[in-house]
Amino acid sequence: MSHYKLKLPQIIISLFLLLLVVIASALRMDLTALLNQSIVKLVMNGVLVLSLIPMLNVGAGMNFGLPVGIIGGLLGMCLAVNFRMTGFYGFCMALLFSLVFCMLLGWIYGLILNRVKGREEIAGIFIGFSFIPLMNYFWTLVPFKNREMLYPIGGQGLRPRISLENYFNHVLDDLGVITVSGIEIPCGLLAFYALVCVFLYLFFLTKAGRAAIAVGENESFARLSGINIAQTRLIAIIISTVIAGFGICVYAQSYGFIQLYDEPLSMAFPAIAAILIGGSTGKKTFIFEAVLGAYLLQSIYLLTVPIANAILVPELTEILRTMITYGIILYALLIRERRGASQ
């Protein structure tokens, strides 16, 4: 089943990861702890990476407008926290609220994207970027009552970081953890991740899903076969947005905080770099590629921290991370166009 075209970079990345692991063990770092963290990080960021798949498959490109879906998820969580919904129940309600918000936002986002065919990616970046300051108004002016969410004294609006300590912090992370010789396997977390994967798999077996793949693979063919292109794209974009909303919920419950205001600005790029590392070419993408890429990227991110601290300058972590992220995306842009041109 080898459809992964980006072969060489995947090998390079994997070797790079291996190198980092070797350095880490040479520095006598706790590899088990790192492994445990890598599993958690996989799911924490992995759902966001999965959210890119519907849009890639339908031919709407890489979803640089991920902030739209993320904001939907943030809205959902804030609502849940405001109504003091705690624990697993609170998390589920957050997901439910996110679902509603993301469907609405995704619908509008999809309508706009349908008008900018061919430039979805650049338009997406700026739609996302301009939506964020708009939402900043909302975060500042929204009449939420929960004191824990608001600025302490004198400030107006929600805090930039809302602690989930009393709400649904780690609800998935801690659900059903099995420890095998030091390695902690968070079954609840992995089960949720698997659920999203299965959902995507099933979706692409439905009539709408298969139409989406056809539109992404060959739009003219799809049009000739009587498929409503605009509607198909809309459905895919809405699903992408909803999963992105779920993604940020999973991320937040793991991280322990809801991050508002300008945080979503840079969240699209790591997710996109991840899926590219996994082998996506910017067109039809397999679920496996999303999973693989998320794991590789997150593990590299994870390993740069202690190594950079030990050897060199602490800021190096961030610099290396961003270099890898943008380097991957640039490389993919070049390769994709080359391949597209030669076809």
Partner 1 sequence: MTNMLEIKHLNKSYNGIPALSDINLSIPAGEIHGLVGANGSGKTTLMNILFGNPIIEASGGYEGEIYFCGKRAAFKNCGHAIQQGIGMIHQEFALIPDMTVAENIKLGRENTMPFTKRLFGQSFSFIDRKKDDAGAQRTLNKLGIDLNVGLKVIDLTSNLKQFVEIAREIHRTDLKLLILDEPTAVLSGSDGLKLIGILKEMSDRDIGILFISHRLEEIQHVCDRVSVLRDGRLVAQYEKGSISINNLAKDMIGHLVEKAAAKKREIGNKTIITFKRFAVEMPGEAIRDLDLDVYEGEILGITSLSGHGKLALGYGMMGMYPVNGEVSYRDEKIARMEARGNIMNGMYLLPDDRQELGIMADQSVEHNIVFTGNQVKNMFIRESCGSFLGFIDRHKSRSHVNKMIEDFDIKCSSVKQKVKELSGGNQQKVCVARALTVDPQLLFVAEPTRGIDIAAKEKILNMLIEINRTRNTTIVIMSSELDELKRVCDRIAVMVEGKIFKILSSDSSDVEFGLALSGEEGAEYEPL
Partner 2 sequence: MRKREGSPIFNSEYVVPMVFIAVSLLAWQFSGLTGSFVFNQVLNRFIRDGILVLSLIIPVVAGMGLNFAITVGAMSMQTALLIMIAYRVEGLTGILLAIILGVLMSVLMGYVIGVILNRVKGKEMITTIIIGFLFNSVYQLIFLVGFGSVIPVLNEEIILTRGIGVRNTVDLGMYRNTIDKLWLFEIGNLEIPFFMILVVLIFAAMIFYILHTRFGQEVKAIGSSTQTSEVLGINTQAVRIKVIILSTVLAALGQLAYLQNIGMFDVYTAHLTNDIISCAALLAGGASIKHAKIRHALVGVFLFHTLFIVSPQAGQNLFHNAALGEYFRSFVAYGTIAFALIINVRNENN
Q: Is 14 in the site for partner 2 (CB under 8 A)?
A: no
Measured between alpha carbons, how far is residue 37 from residues 167, 186, 301, 302 in Å? 22, 10, 11, 8
* Residue where the block lists tokens 């904001």: 71
CA 333/CA 323 separation, integer angstroms: 15
* Residue where the block lists tokens 């993604």: 247
Number of residues in contact with partner 2, rule: CB under 8 A? 42
With CB under 5 to 8 Å by kind, the binding choice for 211 among partner 1, partner 2, none is partner 1
Structure-derived torsion over alpha carbons of residues 24, 27, 33, 37, reported in degrees to the nearest 10? -40
* Contact range with partner 1 by CB under 8 A, out of 12-20, 156-164, 223-231, 256-264: 223-231
- The burial of 163, by beta-carbon neighbours within 10 Å (0-12 exposed, 13-18 middle, 19 or more buried), is given as middle
Name the minimum Å distance from CB 218 to partner 1: 6
- The burial of 231, by beta-carbon neighbours within 10 Å (0-12 exposed, 13-18 middle, 19 or more buried), is given as middle
Name the minimum Å distance from CB 202 to partner 1: 8
Q: Given the complex with partner 1, which of 28 and 207 has the nearer CB atom?
A: 207
- The burial of 188, by beta-carbon neighbours within 10 Å (0-12 exposed, 13-18 middle, 19 or more buried), is given as middle
* Contact range with partner 1 by CB under 8 A, out of 109-117, 164-172, 178-186, 204-212: 204-212
Q: Which two tokens stand for residue 108?
A: 């509008």
Binding partner 2 (rule: CB under 8 A), the pick from 15, 25, 27, 137 is 137
With CB under 5 to 8 Å by kind, the binding choice for 129 among partner 1, partner 2, none is partner 2
Q: Are 83 and 97 in contact (CB under 8 A)?
A: no
CA 239/CA 219 separation, integer angstroms: 19
Binding partner 2 (rule: CB under 8 A), the pick from 112, 150, 175, 287 is 112
Instruction: State whether residue 15 is helix, strand or coil.
Output: helix
* Contact range with partner 2 by CB under 8 A, out of 9-17, 111-119, 174-182, 285-293: 111-119
* Contact range with partner 1 by CB under 8 A, out of 95-103, 154-162, 209-217, 319-327: 209-217
> Which 8-state DSSP code applies to residue 60?
-
Name the minimum Å distance from CB 111 to partner 1: 20
Question: What part of residues 221-280 is at the interface with partner 2 (CB under 8 A)?
Answer: 269
Q: Is 313 in the site for partner 2 (CB under 8 A)?
A: yes
> For residue 235, what are the contacts with CB-CB under 8 A and spacing of at least 6?
208, 212
Q: Given the complex with partner 1, which of 130 and 225 has the nearer CB atom?
A: 225
Binding partner 2 (rule: CB under 8 A), the pick from 4, 107, 129, 144 is 129
Instruction: State whether residue 183 is helix, strand or coil.
Output: strand
Residues making contact with partner 1 (CB under 8 A): 205-208, 210-211, 213-214, 217-218, 220-221, 223-228, 284
Residues making contact with partner 2 (CB under 8 A): 64, 108, 112, 115-119, 121-123, 125-127, 129-134, 136-137, 140-141, 156, 269, 312-313, 315-316, 319, 322-323, 326-327, 329-330, 333-334, 337-338, 341
